Chain A
């Protein structure tokens, strides 16, 4: 089957954005079907397209894949972005899972009540600058390579660039104490497939706007 992957999701970043990053980094073009109403989601459900009645869902190679991690694992494996053996995969998995924890708190930030937002933001920045970013700064320092694992581009690198850019959206100088992450960011941003994804007009979605939230809640209610 030579059709492009088809991504089914809503119009915001949410849980599909890492999938777009990975496909884009792998140089894979894809189509998007944007769910705009609850009826759109219901139709997918009644058509039997969603194994657990949830999106994201990606149609790829004759499968209707759901569950973000299953989707990402498949894409990473297919496009050789998952290390060369079990041990490299374990390293990649550890890095990616750590970043997923940070991504979750970032994603949930938009849905916090107004009076909790400031404290939540402080927690995000604390975790980013004291728990997660230092790990990757050290990894790069210890081996001196351009990429996190096995001296070769992997999903962990793509994920780290995405994470860095998201953290910088909260605090532009977030990388101030991390010189190796700064040069990592510059290098990664210049990889042709990633450079293309970072340009206007790409499938990359902007940060969530408050005005989008009521519609989102309505779709997923």
Chain B
């Protein structure tokens, strides 16, 4: 099947952004459908398109994939971004899961009340600079290679790049103590597929704003 993957979500980053990053980094063009009403979401559920009645949904290779990690793992495996063996995959999984914990704070941030926002930024900054970034700084320093795992571009590199940029949007100087990560960010930015994704007009979505929050609340009816 040579059709492009089709992504169904809302017009915002949310839980689909990591998937957009990975497809883009792999040089894979894709189509997007943006839901605007709750009725559209419910209809998808009734059509049987959504296994657990949730988004994201990615239609790829004849499958209707849901659940971010299932989608990301499939893309990583298909486009050879998942290491060369089980042990490299384990390293990539550890790195990706750690970064995902950090990204969860960023994902939830727009939904925190105004009075909690300053504290939440402090938490993001603390976790990034004390728990997560030091790990990757050390990994890069120890093996001296350009990529995190196996001297080869992988899902872990894409995820780290996404996380660095997302944290920098909240904490602009966050990389100041991390020279390896600064060099990593530069190298990633210059990879042709990523460079293209970072340019205006790409499928990359802007940081969440009030409009995004309102759309999420309306369509997903968060408890």
Chain A residues in the interface with B (C-beta under 8 A): 51-53, 61, 63, 65-70, 73-74, 77-78, 86-87, 89-90, 93-94, 96-98, 101, 123, 131-132, 135
Q: Which residues of B contact A94 (CB under 8 A)?
A: 51, 65-67, 70
Q: Which residues of B contact A97 (CB under 8 A)?
A: 67-70
List 11 additional A-B contacts (Cβ < 8 Å) besides A67-B98, A90-B70, A101-B52.
Answer: A52-B132, A66-B94, A69-B93, A74-B89, A74-B90, A90-B73, A93-B67, A93-B74, A94-B65, A96-B70, A97-B70
A135→B52 contact, CB < 8 A = yes
Chain B residues in the interface with A (C-beta under 8 A): 51-53, 61, 63, 65-70, 73-74, 77-78, 86-87, 89-90, 93-94, 97-98, 101, 131-132, 135, 223
> Measured between alpha carbons, how far is A98 from B124 in the docked complex, in Å?
27
Between A and B, 12 residue pairs with Cβ closer than 8 Å are A52-B131, A52-B132, A67-B98, A74-B90, A77-B86, A89-B74, A97-B68, A97-B70, A98-B52, A98-B67, A123-B223, A135-B51
In angstroms, how far is the closest chain B Cβ from the Cβ of A119?
10
> Measured between alpha carbons, how far is A98 from B52 in the docked complex, in Å?
7
A93→B73 contact, CB < 8 A = yes
Q: Which residues of B contact A61 (CB under 8 A)?
A: 87
Q: Which residues of A contact B53 (CB under 8 A)?
A: 131
Please indicate which of the listed interface residues B86, B89, B135 has the most CB atoms of chain A within 10 Å of its own CB.
Answer: B86
A51→B98 contact, CB < 8 A = yes
Q: Which residues of A contact B61 (CB under 8 A)?
A: 87
> Measured between alpha carbons, how far is A115 from B193 in the docked complex, in Å?
52
Q: Which residues of B contact A132 (CB under 8 A)?
A: 52
Q: Which residues of A contact B101 (CB under 8 A)?
A: 52
Q: With A52-B132, A61-B87, A97-B69 as given contacts, are A86 and B77 in contact (CB-CB < 8 Å)? A: yes
